[in-house]
Amino acid sequence: MAYNSSIEWTESSWNPVTGCTKISEGCKNCYAERMALRLRAMRQKNYIDGFNLSVHEEMFNLPLKWKKPQRIFVNSMSDLFHEELPLKDIQKIFEIMKASYWHTFQVLTKRSHILLEYAKYLEWADNIWMGVTVENQKHVKRIDDLRKTGAKIKFISFEPLLSGINNFNLESIDWVIAGGESGPGARPVDKIWVVEIRDKCIEQNVPFFFKQWGGTRKKRNGRLIDNREWSEMPVFFNNDFKN
């Protein structure tokens, strides 16, 4: 049985690695850290060390056992390109993703410099989507690092969106997600920040997915932009295994 996810742009989660450390502004109110500490209090065995980086080899082969094709968010509770995670473990996880060819795997990192360093040592199967988080203008360079990898599908997550981002290049980018911050202490998102990203995606024919307004606006406005939901997915989709 897969681990169902409440994240709108995926279907399930798989956490062969848990735990992380804060690296940039988007990490301030990390939902994974809150969840990890809650699971430790509940004595969940994979979170006995709370949010410290932990490798769970017993979880590596799980996707091979999930027969129903699905989109799987890899390491929703960590960062697959964390500085302390050995390359050999990342390679093993990539091997499992390739072997589980009927699934689509969505990998997301803020550590694009490590992604770029390791990219040449990884096998980029068609069912592996690689993305970077860009929360403000300061971290736009992560998109350039992503562009240099061999991933067949490359995507950007502008979430939590913390500022306007006007200067970014969508060349070779297949999908864009945007959204505000949710949870305790959520920082506000300005509508114009979201609209500018959406309009650039429309202009350059890049699929756009709006996840949420976040903060106090999440319940009131949900996922609507001007009375419309945006749930576009990458054009490349393996129709043989699509749900």
Residues 33-75 have pLDDT tens digits of 999 999 999 999 999 999 999 999 999 999 999 999 999 999 9
The tokens for 169 are 């290049």
Strand partners, 175: 155
Residues 164-223 have pLDDT tens digits of 998 899 999 999 999 999 888 999 999 999 999 999 999 999 999 999 998 765 556 689
The tokens for 77 are 């509770």
* Alpha-carbon torsion (88, 93, 96, 98), positive or negative: negative
Q: Is the pLDDT of residue 1 over 50?
A: no
What is the rounded CA–CA span in Å between residue 4 and residue 177?
20
> Strand 228-229 and strand 128-133: pairing?
unpaired
Position 6 scores a pLDDT of 85
Position 214 scores a pLDDT of 82
Strand partners, 133: 157
SS (H, E, C) the chain: CCEECCCCCCCEEECCEEECCCCCHHHCCCHHHHHHHHHHHCCCHHHCCCCCCEECHHHCCHHHHCCCCCEEEECCCECCCCCCCCHHHHHHHHHHHHHCCCCEEEEEECCHHHHHHHHHHCCCCCCEEEEEECCCHHHCHHHHHHHCCCCCEEEEEECCCCCCCCCCCCCCCCEEEECCCCCCCCCCCCHHHHHHHHHHHHHHCCCEEECCCCCCHHHHHCCEECCEECECCCCCCCCCCCC
| Residue 204 neighbours by CB distance under 10 Å | 12
Position 2 scores a pLDDT of 58
- Structural domains of the chain, ranges and CATH numbers in brackets: 3-15+60-229 (3.80.30)
Structural contact between residues 225 and 196, judged by C-beta atoms closer than 8 angstroms: no
Structural contact between residues 96 and 127, judged by C-beta atoms closer than 8 angstroms: no
